[in-house]
Amino acid sequence: MQKTALLSVYDKTQLTSFAQGLTDLGYRLISSGGTCRHLQEAGLEVTEVSSLTQFPEMLGGRVKTLHPVVHGGILARRDHPDDLASLEAQGIQTIDLVCVNLYPFAQVLAKGGDEGELIENIDIGGPTLLRAAAKNFRDVWVVTDPGDYERVLDQVKEAQGKEPYAPEILAQRRLLAAKVFESTFHYDQLISSYFQKATAQTNDNLTTADLSDDQLFPDRIDIEGQRLQVLRYGENPHQRAAFYRFGQLSDSGLPAAQQLHGKDLSYNNIQDANAALELLYEFDQPCVVALKHMNPCGLAVGKDIYQAWQAAYQADPVSIFGGIVAANREIDLQTAQELHEIFLEIVLAPSFSQEAFDLLAKKKNIRLLTLPMATKQSLDRLKLVSVMDGVLMQERDLYKVQREDCKLMTQAAPTDDQWTDLINGFSVVKHCKSNAIVVFKDGVTLGIGVGQSNRVGAAKLALEQAGDRAKGAILASDAFFPMPDTVEMAAQFGISAIIQPGGSIRDEDSIQVCNTKGIAMVATGIRHFKH
């Protein structure tokens, strides 16, 4: 009996040669829609699916191959007499090879298609055909990747002279079936992820606060990622690691960055660059972040990127050695000349002037990365963190305090300039490991204390690093003061204003110290622990 192949593809790469190869092997071709027209225009003899099913395509092509004549022919088990008798009773012929690839949902999503366009690119018939053929892989060849066409033709030709269930033939078909299920899983995961994000995404009428826990957090998550590269090693040389892209590629995350120069990124490079990027997204004005071990060691805003760079470097010229620099404006030659004098692992920016790139690229190992600067609002609303045998999911901390959100707690009030530094300093401390204190003045970090087991210890590090520069500066704390000791130390260094969440049962003790020393203090009502 003549074998039958069903071909229905969106991506028609190498399709004609594959179909011709099947014809040469004695296969009858059936197809639908654009695939059928494509093959007929190439001069191949093809039977339209609708003539096989005696049912026309309908609903604008939404229903083409969803029919018992098609799926009966695919799913019938050739070694089950009852299955074959059922086909004969209904006049259904077996289908022995299925070649399908799917509507380009990923590509439409990547280009920013609206929901209507996305929905029309959710393939229904394609995955159904693929899953049916993969389920019955013992009897049906199934192929979804044009890159497999030549190999499948060779395997089909080789199988023609062998027993239908020969172990080597079954092994080949099983591998193709596995590839199909991997492909359809990825496809469905991408669609599911889109709908989850669309549900959680804020807009003019809906915020995540309006969603119930059940709406925001699905009952089940399937974490599916594409491996971008195997890394040289993990956090330490004895650990192996790889970098994966999770979900659909956007223009705001590190997987979208282009590496223009330098050796491959390491595990720690990627962690640091991501931490710098998240902090950078807090600021609209020209900003430079110097970062080491996932904590900022210097941040500054300025009238241009060179001014911001100079101030960020001077904030801590020691810790920046071997760190990374991230900027939200193009790196120009003037800035590059100073960057070139320092040992840096990474420079990340939206772009480099040609002169700046040529200079920095003279260093063999420095990594130069470009990434368009997205808005903070474009970041994913949900964040995942792995733990042993589990995953934590939470809303990303996208809250940025505003002046009107704060409550004045002291007799002294901040000046307008101090208010600007208070708001910016609180944005910086949000990205420092708790317990964290930041000393900030005139758009520049002067001292940063991070990752301490007590708050006064973090303050001591930040204030001593700032030294004499702390006089007249502001101090930002990621959480409230359980004791007045941090405020007392801040007063000794000449801090003029403090921003902190408030809410301690001993708030009055800290307020009293501020009133005695003439320090302004405001409470945000929001804490920014980062673990």
Strand, helix or coil for residue 356: helix
Q: State mean pLDDT over 87-113.
A: 82
Element at 466 (helix H, strand E):
helix 455-466
pLDDT of residue 259: 93
For residue 222, the Cα-to-chain-centroid distance in whole angstroms is 15
- pLDDT tens for each residue of 266-295: 999 999 999 999 999 999 999 999 999 999
Structure tokens at 177: 């079936």
* Residue 125 CB contacts under 8 Å (≥ 6 apart), including other chains: 8, 63, 64, 65, 66
What span, in angstroms and rounded, lies between the C-alpha atoms of 228 and 233? 14
- pLDDT tens for each residue of 465-524: 999 999 999 999 999 999 999 999 999 999 999 999 999 999 999 999 999 999 999 999
pLDDT of residue 202: 47
Q: Is the pLDDT of residue 49 over 50?
A: yes
Range from 183-192, 234-243, 333-342 carrying the lowest mean pLDDT: 183-192
* Residue 137 CB contacts under 8 Å (≥ 6 apart), including other chains: 170, 173, 174, 176, 177
Q: Is the pTM of this model over 0.75?
A: no
Are 66 and 128 spatial neighbours (Cβ–Cβ below 8 Å)?
Answer: yes
Strand, helix or coil for residue 106: helix
CB-based burial, 245-269: b 16+ in 10 Å, e otherwise: eebeeeebbbbebeeebbeebbbbb
What span, in angstroms and rounded, lies between the C-alpha atoms of 55 and 68? 11
Strand, helix or coil for residue 278: helix
Distances (CA, A) of 301 to 253, 267, 371, 450: 22, 28, 19, 21
pLDDT of residue 226: 78
One-letter identity of residue 157: K
Q: Which of 3, 261, 293, 433 is the catalytic position?
A: 293
- pLDDT tens for each residue of 424-449: 999 999 999 999 999 999 999 999 99
For residue 50, the Cα-to-chain-centroid distance in whole angstroms is 42
Closest listed residue to residue 346, CA positions, set 287, 421, 277: 277
What span, in angstroms and rounded, lies between the C-alpha atoms of 282 and 376? 7
One-letter identity of residue 386: S
- pLDDT tens for each residue of 123-135: 788 888 898 889 9
Highest mean pLDDT among 127-136, 333-342, 390-399: 333-342
Element at 337 (helix H, strand E):
helix 333-339
Strand, helix or coil for residue 349: strand
Q: Is the pLDDT of residue 67 over 80?
A: no
Task: Tell me, yes or no, if 441 is annotated catalytic.
Answer: no
- pLDDT tens for each residue of 234-245: 999 999 999 988
Range from 16-20, 50-54, 182-186, 382-386 carrying the lowest mean pLDDT: 50-54
Instruction: Pick left, alpha or beta for residue 360 (phi over 0 → left; psi -120 to 50 → alpha; otherwise beta).
Output: alpha
Closest listed residue to residue 365, CA positions, set 349, 383, 345: 345
CB-based burial, 376-388: b 16+ in 10 Å, e otherwise: eeebbbbeeeeee
Strand, helix or coil for residue 183: helix
- Average per-residue pLDDT in the chain? 88
- pLDDT tens for each residue of 191-220: 777 776 666 554 444 455 667 777 677 777
Are 519 and 495 spatial neighbours (Cβ–Cβ below 8 Å)?
Answer: yes
Q: Which of 135, 340, 363, 400 is the catalytic position?
A: 135
pLDDT of residue 200: 54
Strand, helix or coil for residue 296: strand
- pLDDT tens for each residue of 303-332: 999 999 999 999 999 999 999 999 999 999
pLDDT of residue 204: 40
For the chain, what is the radius of gyration of the CA atoms?
31
Distances (CA, A) of 209 to 199, 217, 335, 381, 430: 12, 12, 42, 12, 20
Cis peptide leading into residue 203 (ω within 30°): no
Task: Tell me, yes or no, if 293 is annotated catalytic.
Answer: yes
pLDDT of residue 527: 93
Structure tokens at 421: 């530094």
Structure tokens at 323: 């760190």
Q: State mean pLDDT over 126-147.
A: 89
One-letter identity of residue 407: K
* Residue 321 CB contacts under 8 Å (≥ 6 apart), including other chains: 342, 343
Closest listed residue to residue 183, CA positions, set 94, 98, 115, 66: 98
Q: State mean pLDDT over 42-70.
A: 73
Beta-carbon neighbour count of residue 176 at 10 Å?
Answer: 22
201 vs 230, residue with greater confidence? 230
